Structure 1
Amino acid sequence: MIYDSITELIGKTPMFEVKGFDIPQGSKVLAKLEMFNPGGSIKDRLGKKLIEEPFKKGIINHKTTIIEPTAGNTGIGLALSALNYGMTTIFVVPEKFSLEKQQLMKALGAEIMHTSTNKGMKGAIEKAKELKKTIPNSYLPLQFENEMNPRAYYETLAPEIIADLENHYPTAFIAGAGSGGTFSGVAQYLKELNENIRTTVVEPEGSILGGGMPGTHETEGIGMEFIPEFLNLKWVDQVYTITDEEAFYYTRELAKRNGLFVGSSSGAAFAGALREIRNLPENSTVVTIFPDSSERYLSKNIYKGAE
């Protein structure tokens, strides 16, 4: 098949059984490999939704400027879809996030504006809202407040998981939460199919969902300074807090043992999946998400200590 639009390549990513770790015999940890999206991350799904739906409704047009606060992957996803419509993009990024993701956004024609690391994502959101007031015909999707965020995953990723399992249900689903959209959309879909499926969030230290205080962490792409309105806590059966050391350890080990080049949020998700599978009955299946690849974090020494 020949495709003529990059957004046609979004989705239908492979499901991979992770092996070589201490997983109970008869049980499985399966990971959806979202780095196989054309922009290299799970956020391509969201970017497509946030551009295509408002365009179809006439909310935005070809001359609209898209503005968004982002750690990087959502920006790449938005820029990828915006290319199809000739739109310009401006992304507000806290200074701490990876240079590679910023370079990729620029490669897609985006303008990058920085905010202080100390102000976190809240500072980027405030700056983006200020910016929107000054630019005519601009649009702020604001993934952290937009109900299209979980719907993007409810409508695409969740049905793919069930299809990958040949219409069987997993014992548990576990995913990291940054904006919370992936977890919310998939958890709701699975709970509607079978309320006995366990749905668990992974977060780094310095995130608040598990009752901790907001703080800094090196695991990139997940962690909440605040709880988005669309995140319904009734879908959250468990929260696992994963240290940076655990996340980076499993990121390195996934490369060594399975040849998977994944980001630290994937390492955190896998650490949580191992906790989960060891507490479940025999012959259980845990599905998790590996959101992106390690190449966009090499400047942050993601493989430090792998020698």
Structure 2
Amino acid sequence: MEKAARDLETQFANMLIKTMRSTTGGDPLSGGNTTYREMYDSQLAKELTKGRGLGLAPMIMRQLERSSGQSPVPAAPGGALPLTKPAAPMMPIVQPMGLSPIGLDSTLQLAPTSSGVSMAAAAPMPMPTPAPAAPAGDVACGPLTPLDCSSPEAFVKSLWPHAKKVATELGVSAKGLIAQAALETGWGRRLVGGNGNVSHNLFGIKAGGSWNGPKVASGTHEYVNGVRQSQRANFRAYTSPAESFADYARLLGRDRYAAARGTGDDTHRFASALQHAGYATDPSYANKITAIANGSTMRRALAALGDA
């Protein structure tokens, strides 16, 4: 997959060079013979994509990993370049599987032009930061748990009845609740747990002083003055997804989250209200939930349920 991603990036670089060549009058010394120029351009494209290259290969590889069900590769140093949504019919190069583990849903696309192919120019779509790898204390769900996280589609299917029930109680979108759970757990692949037991904590709810139930300690990340820091904290533990959703509903029933309730199908308004109320310290929390809820992975999962 890494080689395929590198080859795609090299092909794209080659097309960029050809497009730029087409805007010039050519080399007057070589006449109509373009053989050596094409050889030079091909080698130039390879040189441009060595090392970190153009920054496209890591994004392409993550999309290939997600589409094949494998765990995604880490982001390139410095972060990946944001992709853009097309303003005209586009020619897809890679169709992503979605955010993952968080589910980032964008398609690398090229727009045809009169003289070649160029990157699509349109209003940029915010691209959330990929979720970190699972901390050492986290436990993935397995065959003995009432939660299927073998794929994003299976994850959504196993949680959908609980999400619809709680969404009706809160007056919010069930899709938004699933998106938040997907963000907090990496589509079920980063459920906090201890001693081999899964906590079924789907919404990252910590065990504060008022919590008298079971809890587990796990690594996490918090933003302090805008800086991401690794920490270790106690989280609430549940015996099932239904129990996790029920406790989440009680939490959002507090006055603190009144603005999040009754937001209907407006997932961004719901997520923004959660962030404003201090549900999470991540400054991009609302955008990440919205991106997952409106992404291709969620659409695919809901289409399989007949709830697209």
Question: What TM-score do the two structures reach when normalised by structure 1?
Answer: 0.27
Q: Which has the higher strand share?
A: 1
RCO higher in 1 or 2 (8 Å CA, sep ≥ 6)?
Answer: 1
